[in-house]
Amino acid sequence: MIYIVSPKNTAAIRAGLELKEKKTWAEVLPQLPEGYKPLPDDQVYVDISGFSAADLKKAIGPLKKSGVFWGIIDPKGTASDPASFFFEGSGDYIGRDLMKKGPGKKRFMAALSWTRDQRGHMDGQTAGNYAVKRKKQKLPAERFGGWKSIRSGTLGSFFFLFASLTGESNLRSLVGETSFSGIKTHLRETLQQYLGESGALLWMETEENSLFLIPPKSSNCKSAIEAALKIIINSRLIGIERLGLSIPVEFTFALHYGQTIFQSPGKTGAVISESVNYIFHLGLKKAESGRLTISDDVPNEIIARGFPDFFYPAGIFEGIPIHQSRRFVCK
């Protein structure tokens, strides 16, 4: 079943989708039924025009944890950064122009089918076969000329490093808005300092996560992996000395290799690519606190030659085999 959550525009959404019967291929509801538990083929879309920013975050939170396929409907085209929803785990975005045309059932099912088939939402046997057929990624032979040499709008290959600070409590509510802003600044400076030798570029930031681009060179990637592992090992000291926190914190890292259209930091709102979506999904849905999770698209030579004992196979995520770092015990 396709559920569309629209607190204030139920009738308008039904009309836009040409849903003449009360119960048909989709249901438009002010909210999901109490105690709702998603079935494997369910889809849940949220009409963002009916939510404040705070309420939208509350509505999306349970969907992210439930594992259900979820998407966004933006009938008024109010989202300034549609890509941000994909970074949070959304599987689809239906904007104003498409709503005017009236997307039918086929459009919704195509999004679900694409997510499962093209991005590897498959059962274990199929995913295993798919993974075996994957072509190993190769690093470009040409010299990397630096971030300033890349023209905006050009397609390039990069390493993507996802970083997130995790703790036992919600830091924002625990320390307050002003202190949290200071912590974010110190965190940004700390990550950039540790990742300095890797040539990392802080490319995107959300309230809770950071995404760095790493030059597509073996030595740069190895430096980034070393930095991530050092941060994980030193997380307690970093929390106390760098961030001024009295509660224990940990870091979650995820690493992927792929392609994306390059835009300068701060101008990435329209950037949507499979690689960018994947690294956010890997970091938000699969990577574990206190570990570095690496996709198999990162050339194996980087791990095998530099870190043979630090990582072990950890299954398949969205059709791509992954490795996890061993957990470090801090006493």
Cα–Cα distance for residue pair 194/118, rounded to 1 Å: 35
pLDDT value of residue 112:
81
Cα–Cα distance for residue pair 227/63, rounded to 1 Å: 33
Query: Residue 92 pairs with which residues in a beta bridge?
Result: 71
pTM for this model (two decimals): 0.64
Question: Which of 78-92, 128-142, 215-229, 290-304 has maximum average pLDDT?
Answer: 215-229
pLDDT band at 130 (very low <50, low <70, confident <90, very high): very low
Sheet containing 209-214, strands listed edge to edge, beginning at the edge strand earlier in sequence: 201-205, 209-214, 155-167, 249-261, 292-295, 320-325, 311-317
Cα–Cα distance for residue pair 110/175, rounded to 1 Å: 44
Cα–Cα distance for residue pair 62/80, rounded to 1 Å: 23
pLDDT at residue 22 is higher than 60: no
pLDDT value of residue 23:
56
pLDDT value of residue 21:
59
Answer yes or no: CATH 3.40.50.11260 is held by domain 147-325: no
pLDDT value of residue 208:
77
Distances (CA, A) of 99 to 48, 222, 271: 13, 46, 22
Tell me which of 116 and 49 has the higher pLDDT.
49
Tell me which of 169 and 206 has the higher pLDDT.
206
pLDDT value of residue 315:
86
pLDDT at residue 6 is higher than 50: yes
pLDDT at residue 176 is higher than 80: no
Do 2-118 and 147-325 have matching folds?
no
Cα–Cα distance for residue pair 3/31, rounded to 1 Å: 9
Type of residue at 191: L
Q: Spell out the domain ranges in the chain.
A: 2-118, 147-325
Chain length of the chain: 331
Answer yes or no: CATH 3.30.9.10 is held by domain 2-118: no
pLDDT digits (tens, 9 = 90+) for 202-227: 999 887 789 999 999 999 999 999 99
Question: Which of 22-31, 164-173, 192-201, 258-267 has maximum average pLDDT?
Answer: 192-201
- Can you tell me the mean pLDDT for 63-81? 84
Query: Residue 70 pairs with which residues in a beta bridge?
Result: 44
Nearest to 161 by CA among 211, 227, 97, 206: 211
pLDDT value of residue 168:
54
pLDDT band at 125 (very low <50, low <70, confident <90, very high): very low
Cβ pair 293, 251 in contact under 8 A: no
Q: Which strand (E) or helix (H) includes residue 162?
A: strand 155-167
Where b means 16+ CB within 10 Å and e means fewer, 153-188 reads: eeeebbbbbbbbbebeeebeeebeeeebeebbeebe
Q: Which strand (E) or helix (H) includes residue 16?
A: helix 10-16
Tally the C-alpha atoms within 13 A of residue 95's C-alpha that lie toward its C-beta: 9
Q: Tell which phi-psi region holds residue 154, choosing left (phi > 0), alpha (psi between -120 and 50) or beta.
A: beta
Query: Residue 47 pairs with which residues in a beta bridge?
Result: 73
pLDDT value of residue 212:
97
